[in-house]
Amino acid sequence: MKLRTYIVEDNATIRENLIGTLEELACVEAVGASATEDEGKEWLTAHSAQWDLAIVDLFLRQGSGLGVLAACRARQPGQKMVVLSNYATPDVRMRCAQLGVDAVFDKSNEIDALVDYCIEHSSKAQNAAAPQPRSDVP
């Protein structure tokens, strides 16, 4: 089962490289992307049943990733929100935690950790979707 992933990142090169890397190394399917806060909020809230993971940068062409995170606080329990930023300082990590973010990764040195996170989350989603043995069968 592929992890349906939406990416909010304004740098087209980073966005395309991230999609390629995650689709190759993790069980990820990019279902869309946006470069602004408004586009990200609109898509993620309007298509709330169509994504499992959102990867959000904090500094966007318009607005902020913090606005995207705040708009998705009422997401389903299985849906994950992570931040991928060049500014993963302790203060930023604390603010993201206050907004209910599941993880924060630094673009410069934590891409491998993001890939591992995606692999782990995909495995959990796959196990949750697997049919359970019937208890009424002798």
pTM beyond cutoff 0.85: yes
Taking each helix axis from N to C terminus, what angle separates 12-25 and 111-129, rounded to the nearest 10 degrees?
50
pLDDT digit string (tens) for 21-73?
999 999 899 999 999 999 999 999 999 999 999 999 999 999 999 999 999 99
Domains in the chain (CATH in brackets) are 3-129 (3.40.50.2300)
How far does Cα 56 stand from its chain's mean position?
7
Q: What is the mean pLDDT of residues 70-77?
A: 94
Counting residues of the chain whose pLDDT is more than 70, the rounded percentage is 90
Q: Facing residues of 64 across strands? A: 59
- Please report the sign of the dihedral spanned by the C-alpha atoms of residue 82, residue 117, residue 115, residue 86: positive
- Cα atoms in the 13 Å half-sphere on the side-chain side of 104: 21
Assign 76 to helix, strand or coil: coil
